[in-house]
Structure 1
Amino acid sequence: MSNKSKRFPPEFRDRAARMVLEEEKNHPSRWSAVMMIAPKLDIHPDTLSKWTRLHERG
């Protein structure tokens, strides 16, 4: 089994971050939204949280 991390295109990361920001209003916290979306995209929640923070910075 390879220990390499997955590489995702920038468009995928941006869309994933936008999904969190859009879904956040329906959850008690951002982390709750991240925890719902990350498994659907097959990514680690910490990774999605980081992408969302980076997306907000522009």
Structure 2
Amino acid sequence: FGLAHYAGGWQWMLLAGIAGVAYGLAYRHGGLAAAVLAHLGLNAAHYGLFTYPMRAALQ
């Protein structure tokens, strides 16, 4: 999962790798739905708490 975020630099790769481990644990204990919900929750929190230059340009 970390390698899939290579374009973001080593920091994103590290964070994505940690998130990938968490998604794997969610999958192991709750199945695919738990992993998908964990990913959705993190993405929603990230989108709501941080700014994105492309999003700001649209407003």
Same fold by TM-score greater than 0.5: no
User: TM-score normalized by structure 1?
Assistant: 0.44
Higher relative contact order (CA 8 A, sep 6+): 1
User: TM-score normalized by structure 2?
Assistant: 0.43
Question: When you count helix as a share of all residues, which structure comes out higher?
Answer: 2
